[in-house]
Amino acid sequence: MTETERARPEVIRAVPVRHPGRWVAAVIIVVLAAMLVNNLITNPNYNWPEQWKYFLSEPVLNGVRNTIWLTIAAMVGGVGLGIVLALMRLSANPLMRGAAWLYLWVFRGTPLYTQLLIWGNIGALFPQVGIGIPFGPEFATWPTNALYSAAVMAALGLILNEAAYMAEIIRAGILSVDPGQQEASQALGMTRMQTMRRIVLPQAMRVIVPPTGNEAISMLKNTSLVVAIPYLELTFTAQTIYATTYQVIPMLIMACIWYLILSSIMMVGQYYLERYFAKGSLPGGGRVRNVGGAA
């Protein structure tokens, strides 16, 4: 054997790393999935015909419509009030900062269901409302219960709660913009509101939109809590049906299927909205890529 052959390194034999844990996990998942499918098909307690009977019935469709409009009203009102609260939190005025902090502390620190119970019984706290001089005489008064409906109080309760969370999301988005841009716009003679509307908020949107989309999907599900008032949204409608048919599980699963349909539509809208506001900030012209890497 020559010296050259002696100095030549041996061929590396690469042995692939085995992952038995992955195979075990895959088998467990397949078995559980098969058990779930078998249960869905063979368990008579799901009562699929009963679910289909009410799935497109007028009471259920009315509950779906109420759920949708409550979600829209809560998000529109919550975003609008959240912008005001976020600007108050960023204000140089300590009184405005303190008032905004107190609002957030109350509405983020108490359960939404409890808040809705209070709004549903607000007439017990304020039997009458009136117009007059503060701490002075009243010119006109009305019974509180005559001035509102369950729909109004449900929307109001959701809006006031959502505004507390949206305020922090919007504040984080505003703080993500380089302060130097605000200073430059002020040097150009723009007012604070012009700077906020034309410079800061458009750039902050790519930070604000993703959590706002998550909040909207969460709000869709939180509308089920207005049963505390009560108001005929989707879950309460399902409850009124099974109160007479005694088909509790089938009606609740039917409601879950409706929630899955609505939330899936919202997720698709959120994807395209995020992609639109991410233009210029991500490789590939702002395309949002999924886990697999495909556009």
pLDDT tens-digit readout, 178-202: 878 777 887 888 877 788 778 888 8
Q: Residue 7 — very low, low, confident or very high, per pLDDT cuts 50/70/90? A: low
b/e burial code for range 203-235 (CB count within 10 A of at least 16 → b):
bbbbbbbbbbbebbbebbebbbbbbbbebbbbb
pLDDT at 124 over 70: yes
pLDDT at 145 over 80: no
Q: Is 168 exposed, middle or buried (0-12, 13-18, 19+ CB in 10 A)?
A: middle
- Cis peptide leading into residue 230 (ω within 30°): yes
Residue percentage of the chain with pLDDT more than 70: 91
Average pLDDT over residues 130-138: 79
pLDDT at 284 over 60: no
Q: Residue 294 — very low, low, confident or very high, per pLDDT cuts 50/70/90? A: very low
